[in-house]
Amino acid sequence: MSGLQGVLIVQKGHGSRQTLIYVLMSSQTIELDLRHAIWLTHNRRCVYCSEPLSFSEVDIDHVIPEALVGNPEFPAILAPLDLPLAFDLFSIRNLLPVHRRCNLVKSSKVFDDAAARFFLHRAEGASANVQELVAKKKEGQIRDNLLAKLGEAIRSGLILPMDIQVSQPPHLLRLTNPLVFADAPAEIIESIAPEEVERYLDRPVLMGADPVFAADFGDDNGVRMSVRTWREYRAALAAGFSAKTTYDIKSEAVLKTANAILTAAGSVRLPIISYIRRPHRGVADLELLPSSVLPCVSPDDAEIIAGMENASLSDLLGRGEIKILRISSSELSLEWNWGLMLREICRADFDGDGIEDILCECYCWATELWLVEHSGSYE
């Protein structure tokens, strides 16, 4: 039996003429999580035309057509490709993301041997990452279901919040925002153990949208070097190199954050006491953040901040001395003399005192007001 189903479409032409079109449709149901994982792993592009592919447009095509199921010519097609007779046409090693239009053009045609080998190699190379993404998605769904049931149990009084103990593997650093690498942008790194740090040092960091981009560093003698990995970044700093242009300084911010994560992961400890997890505390709690977190770039800034007498950001907001641009449970952006962004990276005991700390990424920029007030300095 064929693995395909069809739909008969009747199109009316001029007069009484009608056109009958039989469109083949796949009988394999591709689950949403698998479809999404295949699309992500192939960098959101149609494998056949290499053009960008939105998720709403995704068709999942079988490199070797599923119409060959039960076809007596099937073994003769597999043999030149060095595929076993037991090759599963419905496995992820035969599935690729494509545009609907490209899928219709290809239809149930059989590629020549060279093209078939090429596209099968693409599918095979992506299969491990596809399986990992699907597995992590299912793990997340199981966790969400358990949390929903736990919340219902708490609301109904079957268990009390103090009966719950938050646990995690010792020395495992969980990240609020995952790490992203240029060599596998769909890969999700949500936690790091100390023993994993070494294997991440030589992977290229994704800086912006271009996976081949590298930050350009220089020294005082005019020598230049490209930096893409954390090991290269550490070596550049040790040799006295630094980012020289505004663009490279922005790229270095990504390297700095990633380097801080790996440094923290290498010495992370499970906290004995936490004052910031229950109840949850973070960068959104303005009343707990002192004015000393504001950027201090010049002597004038230091004098102004000292005059605030360690008032909280909540106090400064009430007095109209700061402006909130964005706030969430893990990120805060504001403006005063300078712009400031604080983003939570992870939580753990970083200094060995047994108390849980928050590691934050800090980024500041010149506001329009500052540029206007200091424009005469550059004339």
Helix (H, G, I), strand (E, B) or coil at 320: coil
Q: Is the pLDDT of residue 246 over 90?
A: no
- In whole angstroms, give the CA distance from residue 76 to residue 333: 63
- In whole angstroms, give the CA distance from residue 52 to residue 138: 27
The token pair that represents 207 in the structure block:
């800086």
Q: Which residue type is seen at 113? A: D
- In whole angstroms, give the CA distance from residue 373 to residue 311: 25
Q: Which residue type is seen at 209? A: A
The token pair that represents 100 in the structure block:
């609907």
Taking alpha carbons only, the member of 246, 255, 173 closest to residue 206 is 255
Residue % of the chain over a pLDDT of 70: 86
- In whole angstroms, give the CA distance from residue 54 to residue 279: 40
Helix (H, G, I), strand (E, B) or coil at 221: coil
pTM above 0.85, yes or no: no
H or E element, residue 12 = strand 4-12
Which residue reads 């399986």 in tokens?
131
For 110-146, write each residue's pLDDT tens digit.
888 888 899 999 999 888 889 988 888 887 788 777 7
Q: Is the pLDDT of residue 6 over 50?
A: no
The token pair that represents 321 in the structure block:
């001395």
Q: DSSP string of 136-196?
A: HHHHHHHHHHHHHHHHHHHHTTSS-GGG------TT-EEEEEEEEETTEEEEEEEEE-GGG
The token pair that represents 127 in the structure block:
């299969």
For 83-99, write each residue's pLDDT tens digit.
888 888 888 999 999 99
- In whole angstroms, give the CA distance from residue 349 to residue 359: 10
Residue 342: CA count within 13 A, CB half-sphere: 21
For 228-245, write each residue's pLDDT tens digit.
898 999 999 999 999 988
Residue 46: predicted pLDDT: 93
Q: Is the pLDDT of residue 300 over 70?
A: yes
For 21-78, write each residue's pLDDT tens digit.
333 445 567 888 899 999 999 989 999 998 999 988 899 999 988 888 778 888 888 8
